[in-house]
A and B are shown apart, each in its own frame.
Chain A
Amino acid sequence: MEDLIKELKLSIIEALNLEGMTPDDIDDNAPLFGDEGLGLDSIDVLELLILLEKNYGIRLASPKEGQKVFQSIAVIAQYVTENRTK
């Protein structure tokens, strides 16, 4: 799980152009959206959807499911572990 978390952080930094950030700057359990944590926005959600499909073969059924999955890096990692097809 630790390797997957690091891999996810690196992919997210690259996909969302979080230039200047390193995996250590991202707390596993911090919220990804809103003023705390990474402060991601709706465009970032689309990038994350693409990232999951491209890297792990996961296609989320609805934006509502995305809200649940994209709570934090730890939650994404858990979801990927349980649902990945590649």
Chain B
Amino acid sequence: MRIIRSIDIPSGSSLACLYREHKIEYPKFFKMDTLCKLGFLATELLLEGDSDRFVPREDRAVLMFSRNGCLANDINYEKTMGDYPSPSLFVYTLPNIITGEIAIRNKYKGETSAFLLEEYDEERIRSIVEEAFQDTVTTSAIVGWIDCRSESDWTCKAFLVEK
């Protein structure tokens, strides 16, 4: 297994500015919660310029790891529950939506999984990614430690990894 590329989005960066700077056209981005925005942008930056972008494929997995999952969005959603619970916040109250957003954008039809760990654990992440490569289909993966603590506080590291 080897890391082909990596990307780090510093905590507190303006994600909207990053989106515009890279001339990305995907209006749904603005509806995502911060966790999904981070996963989406990290993947966009990792794959920027690849000639085979958006060709449907089954051989690339999306494996995301974090400590807090979608907790930041859950808190925002909870605030709306006393009045009119927000449907658009509700749809992001699952920690694995991030993998779905990335797979939909990039037309990936392979494995997608989200894992919650007590803390960043490189060995454990490596072991899970290696396990994903044990099937007969997966040859590469988008892997991320994307831990969103609030809309302006996160750790976001993502990697393009090959078998």
Are B31 and A39 in touch, CB under 8 angstroms?
no
Are B27 and A43 in touch, CB under 8 angstroms?
no
Main secondary structure of the interface of B (DSSP, over half): helix
B side interface size, CB within 8 A: 11
Are A17 and B88 in touch, CB under 8 angstroms?
yes
Q: Choose among B27, B83, B86, B87 the residue with the greatest number of A CB atoms under 10 Å from its CB.
A: B87
**A-contacting residues, B117-137, CB 8 Å:** none
B79 to chain A, nearest CB (A): 15
B91 near A: Cβ within 8 Å?
yes
Which residue of A has the minimal Cβ distance to B37? A19
Are B87 and A46 in touch, CB under 8 angstroms?
yes
A60 near B: Cβ within 8 Å?
no
Are B84 and A16 in touch, CB under 8 angstroms?
no
A20 to chain B, nearest CB (A): 6
**A-contacting residues, B75-117, CB 8 Å:** 83-84, 86-88, 91
Q: Give the bracket for the number of chain A residues in contact with chain B.
A: 10 to 19
Question: For the complex, what is the distance from the CA of A38 to the CA of B44, rounded to whole Å?
Answer: 23
A19-B16, A20-B16 known; A47 and B88 CB under 8 Å? yes
Contacts A/B (CB < 8 Å), 24 sampled: A17-B30, A17-B31, A17-B88, A18-B30, A18-B31, A19-B16, A19-B30, A20-B20, A20-B30, A21-B30, A39-B27, A43-B87, A43-B91, A44-B88, A46-B87, A46-B88, A47-B86, A47-B87, A47-B88, A50-B84, A50-B87, A53-B84, A54-B83, A54-B84
